[in-house]
Amino acid sequence: MKIPEILLIESAHRPGSLASILGVIGDEGLVVEHLASLRRDQDKTVWEITLEMDPDAGPRLRERIDALPNARLLGRSDRVFNRHRGGKIRTVSTLDIGSLQILRDVYTPGVARVCLAIRDNPALAAEYTAISRTVAIVTNGTAVLGLGDIGALAGMPVMEGKAALMASLAGLSGVPILVEEKDPKRLVEIIAAIAPSFGAIQLEDIAAPGCFEVEDTLRARLDIPVLHDDQHGTAVVAMAAVRNAGRQAGQRLSRSVVGQVGLGAAGIGIARLLLSRGTPRILGADLDAGARQRFAALGGEPADLARVMAEADIVIATTGVPGLIKPAMVRAGQVILALSNPDPEIEPQAALAAGAAFAADGKSINNVLGFPGLFRGALEAGARRFTDEMLVAAAETIADLASDHDLVPDPLNLAVHDAVTAAVAKAARDSGA
């Protein structure tokens, strides 16, 4: 598995020094993800170079850099860890409690009036508490990124990241909830018990097939929106990317055969949304018989990997298996979206070299474009559930906002999230959610 490696390298400040370092990196088959000059001291410069590499490649690379006459490896940067130090989120007051009068209003004795008002009319909680802008981000850590079952505690950095993105991109308060429970029925009971604190529930990194039971049961039981982001957030952004990739490759989704490789949470979510929008034929491959049965029940056509690659015009892969799709499997003119992170089923460059008309991976197609606006739109509309109309509205908005040469727009463009919010809220009202 490739992970970010951030090296600190000192080089002589003269022509060709940096080029020789980059030449060694290129010889090792590595691509520079980020390059920054940290400081210059007289005749030397210290560079911070970010690479994505297998851990086994590290010792050889470091040895080759140290062997250069004009460079010296200083060590590894802790930039990523430093940005996580102390956590990425915190709770802050919306009021400046600068006087005893304000203190008595927001706490005792004034708060009692608001408590009694909500007791008599529970709908007032949406106006006089933060519940209507607060989302629980719940995980049991059984399917974190492409890392698998690493436990709830190890999943906390991802949950904090989701909360930080909700705050910065949609103005919502996301609260990470770690649950040490793998049994779907008990997990449902725990989440349902804490649900009154929140306006919506975002399920995150819960492994299939249990994630389907958890979401379905909570959606039927709770009167607030519940969304498993690995299914539906991924599906929304994938649908937007598929539409634009097909356009750029000259293939219309309504006339194409789609292949879904991997029928876990993300794969089922993508297939279900595409089928709901009238995609005529979707082939699906997975080694798990239960996954194939769920797919068939949706209206998909189970197949093996070889058949998917032989017949599909657009291939979407969400297996978590690096290198699963071999270049020899790619047909000329196919669209290949290998979405597993951190390592795709096939590198886009390899797919293009094998004849694909268009190829992309999960670095560029990320559900951060979907979930902030999905939740804000649902909450602003007072929706009690997510509907397919809301998901499709988000997908179409994301697709429409991409530039002519991009699959999806910039995820840090706040205007995109505002537009998704508006589209989701309208769809919620129109669909009666």
Active site residues: 107, 162
Cα angle for residues 258, 259, 260 (degrees, 5° grid): 120
Cα angle for residues 391, 133, 158 (degrees, 5° grid): 70
> Residue written as tokens 């082939």?
283
Task: Report yes or no: 117 and 127 within 8 Å, Cβ to Cβ.
Answer: no
Round to whole Å and give the CA distance between 392 and 203. 19
User: Strand pairing partners for 323?
Assistant: none
> What is residue 87's DSSP assignment?
-
Positive or negative CA dihedral for 413, 415, 417, 419?
negative
Task: Report yes or no: 6 and 49 within 8 Å, Cβ to Cβ.
Answer: yes
Distances (CA, A) of 221 to 153, 213, 214: 27, 12, 11
For 47, counting Cβ atoms within 10 Å of its Cβ (0-12 exposed, 13-18 middle, 19+ buried), the class is buried
Task: Report yes or no: 184 and 213 within 8 Å, Cβ to Cβ.
Answer: yes
Round to whole Å and give the CA distance between 293 and 273. 17
